[in-house]
């Protein structure tokens, strides 16, 4: 009896695993709300989900077609990421947002084969900027090599454009993610004459004793950080413990959210990081979110992440996805678009000041245009500083430009090597 | 009634010492092989192949390998993840260095490379035993992963340290890379698994296997009756690492397609395979299959049930999954400390008497 029940349940499970097709736009999210990186994964997933809920509730979907949002838990684990991809690939996923550089690397060849676009927003494979080699992969608005270059440009601006002989350390998560900026920083160190020090932290990054001992011994002038999840608060705590000057400790945009600095308390005061977008809740869009999503109890997760940096980034990612879907609808003249049409929308996406104003996000992001040759946006970033007393991030710089000439040169090298390895002839689609 | 030995007469020693002396078992085995080779390829779809069946086949090979070392030879090892990484990086280096070489030979060669590395790290087993050996193999785990993440030669100086498998074909069908179909991935893993299981089963039945078991049961006594501990222990390490290397190579080339040592072959992988062996049953070929099925298929089924069928939130399901699998491991080990294989033995005993038990 027990066995038959179990068997029946299993059969039901197998049947349910099949795809359900309906007149909806399917936006999946390979999220992670568990594991050592959940602290960053939860707010991003909440923001991503809430924006789609808002579009459904306020506008009735995109171009009249409602959005279907689904989540698959990866726990930042590549094997689970593959499983998730397999479970959604036949379900018309319009765009993949894996939020993990490792999973992105794994999905690039598969999704390209299946003609499903990937938006690795500010992470993933940097050389995917070259859309002739990576037609289905997009990493606008900025990538890691931009981030490294923006950091160096920021340091230059703090030092009267002379950092000859300075010592700059990179504290990185020892994974594909953390190693991405190394080639850029190596080139920049040759150009500007600073000493470049690489200090890797093994995943997940809770143990950094020896790394900070090394930092104490080497006394670098600046420490740049490529950290994620539990690694961030640990590193900031260690820096506070050795009284490293916080204004000289600069994190990438994934190392600068509330949950990274709050655990350290006042010790984190003055910690800086890059930012991809404006901070806080002072945007008209948040009023709509409050009205349509929060007040009607439709918020994703626990609903306590609104306004944090990672949450805003989730909003930003979902906004770009929705705008790309709109563009695709205009290009193809149909409202129920396919993943391949979505790709065209992403490849022709234009974000302007006026559009941001209409969306209720004035000044939130920097306008950019996507083209076949440039899937990576403009590569600008802001610098934000944590105010531990007020408990908020303050933007302390204008949009800083990256050294795009150098980065495009490196992108071409790396992407053409990839094309040669995989027998791809670089060419624009359509 | 159905499952019985009565009337199944053997007239030669060969017939008497075959792997499946009971006719019912033997035909069951043939039937399973026929279904696996002829039936499953017709019905398998991408999701089933990629999420459940292929990882199950690959991890079973790893569990078979570790079972030889722990279950048959009694040498505790925590370096499985690293040895899988050796197989993966070995196959990657061979694939990129010799693009013309057939992937089947690449995977076998990766197995031999891993066997060599396994013997090297098996040397301490001649002096140290039990938990101390476990610590020595733990050192192998950390050293090898360090090597693969810090020495750029192993990942061909790629800026991110990721290795990715190019497309390779067998008989004109791509088995690795994005174009590989579910059936071809399934078939190559199945062939390797059947060959590995056949190898493991026959090695453990023969002289070598008896030497391993003698060492496991009491090494001093084994030495006195003429077993050479050096040979026995090192061959166990070699065969075990060979199988683990093959599974690592398959995991990287066929299943994952791209990997980095620290993330895909970390210490948790060592424990995963160790748990498979313990839950499946030490010293049993069937146990490797059962353990891998339990720990690979179980969580995916649970996820499908909780998320897709019942529609629960993914994070709740993920947390529950950890708790349920953990609880099931505990319950299993309390009710049947010798693993699923022992449970299966008991069922077989009962079946022989069914439906008229004394």
pLDDT at B166: 86
B131: number of Cβ within 10 Å: 9
Instruction: Write out pLDDT tens, residues A158-167.
Output: 999 999 999 9
Domain boundaries, chain A: 23-143+281-380+409-421, 144-279+381-402
At a CB cut-off of 8 Å and minimum separation 6, what does B12 contact?
A: none
3-state secondary structure chain B: CCCCCCCCCCCCHHHHCCCCCCHHHHHHHHHHHHHHHHHHHHHCCHHHHHHHHHHHHHHHHHHHHHHHHHHHCCCCCCCHHHHHHHHHHHHHHHHHHCCCCCHHHHHHHHHHHHHHHHHHHHHHHHCCCHHHHHHHHHHHHHHHHHHHHHCHHHHCCCCCCCEECCCCEECCEECCCCCCCHHHHHHHHHHHHHHHHHHHHHHHHCHHHHHHHHHHHCHHHHHHCCCCHHHHHHHHHHHHHHHHHHHHHHHHHHHHCEECHHHHCCHHHHHHHHHHHHHHCCCCHHHHHHHHHHHHHHHHHHHHHHHHHCCCCHHHHHHHHHHHHHHHHHHHHHHCCCHHHHHHHHHHHHHHHCCCCC
**Which of A3, A6, A14 to probe the B interface (max B CBs under 10 A)?**
A14
Q: Of the candidates B256, B260, B308, which has its C-beta nearest A79's C-beta?
A: B256
pLDDT at B1: 62
B179: nearest CA in chain A?
A: A113
Share of chain A above pLDDT 90, in %: 69
At a CB cut-off of 8 Å and minimum separation 6, what does A233 contact?
A: A39, A259, A260, A261, A263, A264
pLDDT at A17: 44
- Evaluate whether A23-143+281-380+409-421 and A144-279+381-402 have a shared fold: yes
Instruction: Check pLDDT > 50 for residue A18.
Output: no
Pair A52, A94: CB distance under 8 Å? no
CA of B98 vs chain A CAs: smallest distance (Å): 13
Show the tokens assigned to B123: 């040397």
Cβ A110–B178 below 8 Å, yes or no? yes
Q: Of the candidates A10, A203, A414, which has its C-beta nearest B159's C-beta?
A: A414
Distance CA A65, CA A59 (A): 10
Instruction: Write out pLDDT tens, residues A266-314.
Output: 999 999 999 999 888 889 999 999 999 999 999 888 888 888 999 999 9
Cβ B149–A75 below 8 Å, yes or no? no
Instruction: Check pLDDT > 80 for residue A182.
Output: yes
Residue contacts between A and B (CB atoms, under 8 Å): 117
pLDDT at B349: 85
pLDDT band at A319 (very low <50, low <70, confident <90, very high): very high
pLDDT at A21: 45
Instruction: Check pLDDT > 90 for residue A83.
Output: no
Share of chain A above pLDDT 70, in %: 95
At a CB cut-off of 8 Å and minimum separation 6, what does B337 contact?
A: none
For chain B, which ranges sit under pLDDT 70? 1
Average pLDDT over residues A79-101: 90
Q: Of the candidates B262, B308, B318, which has its C-beta nearest A175's C-beta?
A: B262
Q: Of the candidates B55, B257, B313, which has its C-beta nearest A109's C-beta?
A: B257
Q: Of the candidates B46, B256, B314, which has its C-beta nearest A106's C-beta?
A: B256
pLDDT band at A355 (very low <50, low <70, confident <90, very high): very high
pLDDT at B7: 78
pLDDT at B5: 75
Go through A34-71 and write b for each residue having 16 or more CB atoms within 10 A of its CB, e for each that does not: bbbbbbbbbbbbbbbbbbbbbbbbeeebbbebbbbbbb
In CATH, what number does A144-279+381-402 get?
Answer: 3.40.50.2300
B258: nearest CA in chain A?
A: A106
**Which of B97, B149, B311, B315 to probe the A interface (max A CBs under 10 A)?**
B315
Nearest to A255 by CA among A157, A372, A356, A384: A384
A397: number of Cβ within 10 Å: 18
Cβ A113–B257 below 8 Å, yes or no? no
Nearest to B186 by CA among B71, B52, B94, B14: B52
Pair A148, A185: CB distance under 8 Å? yes
Residues on B contacting A at a C-beta cutoff of 8 Å:
46-47, 50-51, 55, 149-150, 159-162, 164, 166-167, 177-179, 255-260, 262-264, 266, 300-301, 303-305, 307-309, 313-315, 317-319, 322
CA of B315 vs chain A CAs: smallest distance (Å): 5
Distance CA B280, CA B295 (A): 10
pLDDT at A430: 61
Nearest to A98 by CA among A129, A75, A131, A68: A75
Cβ A112–B178 below 8 Å, yes or no? yes
Pair B250, B38: CB distance under 8 Å? no
Cβ B260–A176 below 8 Å, yes or no? yes
Distance CA A373, CA A133 (A): 9
Spell out which residues of chain A touch residue B150, defining contact as CB-CB under 8 Å.
Answer: 200
Cβ A73–B314 below 8 Å, yes or no? yes
Percent composition of chain A: helix, strand, coil (DSSP 3-state, to 5): 45, 15, 40
Query: Would you say the C-alpha torsion A117, A119, A120, A125 has a positive or negative sign?
Result: positive
B145: nearest CA in chain A?
A: A202
Spell out which residues of chain A touch residue B315, defining contact as CB-CB under 8 Å.
Answer: 33-34, 38, 42, 73, 301
Spell out which residues of chain A touch residue B164, defining contact as CB-CB under 8 Å.
Answer: 105, 109
Pair A385, A393: CB distance under 8 Å? yes
Query: Would you say the C-alpha torsion B267, B273, B276, B277 has a positive or negative sign?
Result: negative
In CATH, what number does A23-143+281-380+409-421 get?
Answer: 3.40.50.2300
Spell out which residues of chain B touch residue A79, defining contact as CB-CB under 8 Å.
Answer: 55, 255-256, 264
pLDDT at A5: 53
């Amino acid at each position: 009896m027990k066995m038959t029940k179990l068997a029946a349940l299993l059969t039901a499970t197998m049947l349910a695993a099949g795809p359900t097709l309906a007149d909806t736009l399917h936006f999946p999210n390979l999220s992670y709300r568990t594991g050592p990186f959940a602290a960053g994964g939860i707010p991003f997933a909440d923001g991503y989900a809430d924006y789609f809920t808002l579009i459904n509730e306020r506008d009735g979907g995109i171009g009249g077609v409602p959005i279907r949002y689904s989540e698959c838990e990866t726990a930042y684990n590549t094997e689970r990421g593959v499983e998730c991809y397999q479970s959604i690939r036949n379900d018309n996923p319009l765009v993949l947002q894996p939020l993990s550089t490792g999973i992105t690397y794994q999905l690039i060849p598969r999704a390209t084969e299946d003609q499903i676009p990937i938006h690795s927003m500010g992470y993933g494979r940097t050389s995917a900027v070259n859309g002739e080699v990576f037609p289905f992969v997009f990493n606008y608005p900025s990538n890691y090599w931009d981030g490294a270059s923006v950091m160096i440009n920021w340091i230059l601006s703090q030092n009267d454009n002379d950092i000859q002989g300075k010592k700059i350390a990179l504290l990185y998560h020892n994974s594909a993610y953390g190693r991405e900026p190394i080639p850029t920083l190596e080139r920049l160190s040759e150009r500007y004459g600073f000493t470049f020090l690489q200090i890797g932290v093994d995943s997940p990054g809770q143990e950094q004793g020896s790394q900070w001992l090394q930092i104490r011994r080497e006394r670098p002038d600046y420490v740049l950080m490529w950290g994620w999840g539990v690694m961030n608060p640990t590193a900031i705590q260690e820096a506070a413990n050795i009284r490293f000057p916080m204004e000289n400790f600069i994190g990438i945009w994934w190392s600068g959210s509330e949950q990274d600095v709050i655990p350290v308390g006042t010790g984190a005061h003055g910690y800086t990081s890059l930012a991809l977008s404006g901070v806080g809740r002072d945007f008209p869009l948040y009023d709509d979110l409050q009205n349509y999503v929060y007040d009607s109890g439709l918020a994703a997760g626990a609903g306590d992440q609104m306004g944090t940096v990672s949450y805003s980034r989730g909003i930003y990612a979902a906004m770009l996805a929705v705008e790309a879907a709109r563009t695709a609808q205009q290009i193809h003249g149909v409202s129920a678009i396919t993943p391949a049409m979505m790709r065209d929308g992403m490849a022709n996406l234009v974000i302007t000041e006026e559009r941001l104003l209409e969306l209720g996000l004035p000044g939130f992001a920097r306008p950019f245009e996507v083209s076949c040759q440039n899937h990576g946006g403009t590569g600008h970033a802001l610098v934000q500083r944590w105010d531990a007393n007020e408990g908020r991030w303050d933007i302390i710089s204008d949009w800083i430009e990256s050294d795009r000439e150098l980065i495009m040169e490196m992108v071409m090298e790396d992407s053409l090597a990839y094309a040669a390895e995989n027998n791809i002839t670089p060419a624009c689609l359509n | 009634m159905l499952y019985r030995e009565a009337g199944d007469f053997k007239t030669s020693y060969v017939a008497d010492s075959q792997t499946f002396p009971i006719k019912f078992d033997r035909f069951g085995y043939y039937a399973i092989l026929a279904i696996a080779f002829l039936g499953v390829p017709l019905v398998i779809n991408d999701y089933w192949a990629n999420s459940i069946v292929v990882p199950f086949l690959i991890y079973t090979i790893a569990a078979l390998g570790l079972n030889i070392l722990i279950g048959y030879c009694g040498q505790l090892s925590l370096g499985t993840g690293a040895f899988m990484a050796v197989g993966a990086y070995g196959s990657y280096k061979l694939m990129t260095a010799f693009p013309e070489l057939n992937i089947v030979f690449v995977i076998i060669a990766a197995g031999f490379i891993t066997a060599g590395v396994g013997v090297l790290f098996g040397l301490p087993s001649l002096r140290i035993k039990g938990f101390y050996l476990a610590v020595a193999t733990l050192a192998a785990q950390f050293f090898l992963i360090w090597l693969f993440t810090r020495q750029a030669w192993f990942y061909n100086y790629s800026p991110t340290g990721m290795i990715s498998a190019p497309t390779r074909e067998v008989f004109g069908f791509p088995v690795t890379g994005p174009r590989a179909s579910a059936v071809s991935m399934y078939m190559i893993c199945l062939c390797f698994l059947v060959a590995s299981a056949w190898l493991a089963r026959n090695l453990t039945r023969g002289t070598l296997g008896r030497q391993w078991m003698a060492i496991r049961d009491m090494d001093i006594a084994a030495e006195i009756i003429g077993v050479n501990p050096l040979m026995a222990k090192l061959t166990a390490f070699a065969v075990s690492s060979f199988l683990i290397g093959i599974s690592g190579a398959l995991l990287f080339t066929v299943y994952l397609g791209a990997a980095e040592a620290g993330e895909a072959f970390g210490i948790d992988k060592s424990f995963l395979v160790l748990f498979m062996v313990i839950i499946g049953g030490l010293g049993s070929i069937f146990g490797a299959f059962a353990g891998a099925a339990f720990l690979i298929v179980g969580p995916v089924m649970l996820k499908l049930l909780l998320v897709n069928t019942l529609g629960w939130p993914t994070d709740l399901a993920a947390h529950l999954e950890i708790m349920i699998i953990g609880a099931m491991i505990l319950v299993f080990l309390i009710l049947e400390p010798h693993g699923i294989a022992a449970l299966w033995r008991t069922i077989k005993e009962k079946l022989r008497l069914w439906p008229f038990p004394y």
